[in-house]
Chain A
Amino acid sequence: MRKVAIIGVGVEGFRPAIRDLSYKEMVYRAAVKAYTNADIDPRKEVDTFISCEEDFSMGTSITDEYAPDQLGGAQRSVQTITGDGIQGMAAAYMQIATGMFDVAVVEAQSRISDMLTPNQIQHFALDPIFVRQFNSTHHSIAALEKQAYQHAFGVSDEIIAEVAVKNYRNAILNPIAAYGMNASKEDILETEIISAPLREGEVAEHADGAIVVVMASEDIIKQKNVTPVWVKGISYATNTPNVETRDWKTATYAKLCADRAYKMAGITDPKSQIDLFEIDDTYAFKELQHLEALGIFSFGEAAKALADGKLERGGDLPVNVSGGVLGVGNGHDVNGLQRVAEIVDQLTGEAGKRTVSGAKTGLAFSWRGVPTTAGALAILSVE
């Protein structure tokens, strides 16, 4: 099968609320940047458009009907995937690799500020017969998981707070991040309890924004003046929707994703073959839990690596140099493309002061959030 690469990324946002642009205008601005970077005319050179969005997030049923115009996809092949942007990239990858198409565009966006009742919409994702009958916030599902994780592996609240400290600090240098700040461990631990053991400071705040990614076949790349970031491995997996039968301690979905993507990319030792990691940290403990599920550390060991400074930008295994979901802001279905955008910036020399020197290969992992056990993973490389 043909090789596939990312040839351009465009970002609009992220800001806590984008009220001065409509969602179409926000996506248009991201799209123009992506097409400029990719040296592509969307009206002539793009074969397939993939928009990742959910009806309930957008507030319109059959919302995919409204996706084409702002992407340059009017009267063209457009599809919607109700999932994370990396799931959209997986579809684009397959469409290009098979030889059906040469250039694909993937878009995901977040318009949380258009929702006046975001908690209701998250609550609406819970099983209606069992879980939704109780009135605790959806964050309680994450709290149950944090409790199980901490109990199983003896990971303290203090070290989990350090994940938030690191990611909020990293976000200061990221122009697309909405929540860069210097917060101390104490600051995080003093924030209000949402659902014990989960505190407000370790939960990613919502943000609005859009990301457009252009992907192309190796045949097209030969004709263009672009730096290709090759998609070496891509995967997505779901564990189970049932809260009764899921594994609360280890993020099984992340392991399932990693097993597939490592095999595809020929990764046998992720720690030495991957230079930087962008990993879902919608809840601070998730960064550690995900790193372990991805096989970077054994269970309970990610906390030690964090304490030793290994996950810092200058450490052996930089994690969430972008600021992660905590720092950039929780954009739900666009979170995966936030992770991808950072890796593309890093590998193409566009990361400025955030640069991880010598990085050639990066891993982006996204989780679809409460109450899912669904993840998506991309391994990207300039080699």
Chain B
Amino acid sequence: MKVRGTKLSHDEFMNKVISVDHHPEIEYAWATGIAISKFLEGLKQGKIYGAKCNDCNRVVCPPRIFCEECFSPMVEYVELPDTGVVNTFSLAYIRTDASRREKPEIPAVIDIDGTTLTPSGFLHLLDENISHDEIKVGMKVKAVWKPENERTGSITDIMYFTKMEE
């Protein structure tokens, strides 16, 4: 297939036209607050927390201190199972730096079991060793955790989700 555009070499791009460089050194440390801190602390203990809205009765994951549907405060945390269902997925061959992978990473949105009304959850990765033919929307999955002493209270404390044996 013909690729659109005109290829420029690095030398042409950087040196044949006058330009000015700047490399900002910018860093952030986002305070995660009440609800997400609870969620991240939970991950460290191998638990997935959600929150329940006592007005519209839905259980959401990850937890939050307010319900975006009815704007009521959410004050009740619920421990959810570390299992869920693949909502959607992709086989990702290109990294952020535009380099190519031989074996794709498999990002997937996981609806966590126990969330109600509209299912909710988070984006994570699927086990790269599942045969690509087997991966389906609706597939039941289970979290594969890092060893407890390697968990830091991060979404990466779950290494990936793998297919559950039916």
Contacts and interface: CB of A to CB of B under 8 A. Distances in A.
Contact of B69 (A21, A32, A74): A74
Contacts of A117: 25-27
Given A115-B28, A128-B22, A28 B34 contact: no
B26 A121 contact: yes
Given A25-B65, A28-B65, A114-B29, A20 B34 contact: yes
Contact of A22 (B20, B26, B31, B69): B31
Nearest to A74: B68
Which DSSP category, helix, strand, loop or mixed, fits chain B's interface?
loop
Contacts of B34: 20-22, 25
B30 A43 contact: no
Given A28-B66, A120-B26, A43 B71 contact: yes
A32 B67 CA distance: 12
B98 to A, nearest CB: 18
A25 B36 CA distance: 10
Contact of A25 (B20, B24, B33): B33
B57 interface: no
Contacts of B140: none
A13 interface: no
Given A28-B66, A74-B68, A74-B69, A59 B31 contact: no
A20 B37 CA distance: 9
Interface in B8-36: 20, 22, 24-36
Interface in B32-83: 32-36, 64-66, 68-71, 73
B65 to A, nearest CB: 5
A114 B28 contact: yes
Contacts of A336: none
Contacts of A210: none
A1 interface: no
A133 B22 CA distance: 9
B56 to A, nearest CB: 11
Nearest to A128: B22
Nearest to A116: B27
A124 B26 contact: yes
A35 to B, nearest CB: 8
A207 to B, nearest CB: 14
Contacts of A133: 20
A101 interface: no
Contacts of B64: 24, 69
A238 interface: no
B66 A70 contact: yes
Contacts of A2: none
B57 to A, nearest CB: 16
A21 B31 contact: yes
Contacts of A116: 27-29
B20 A128 contact: yes
Contacts of A25: 33-35, 65-66
10 contacts: A20-B33, A22-B31, A23-B30, A24-B64, A25-B65, A28-B65, A74-B69, A121-B26, A123-B24, A128-B22
Q: Pick the 4 closest A-B CB pairs, nearest first.
A: A22-B33, A59-B28, A69-B68, A116-B27
Interface of A: 18-26, 28, 32, 35, 41-43, 56, 59, 68-70, 72, 74, 111, 113-117, 120-121, 123-124, 128-129, 132-133
Interface of B: 20, 22, 24-36, 64-66, 68-71, 73
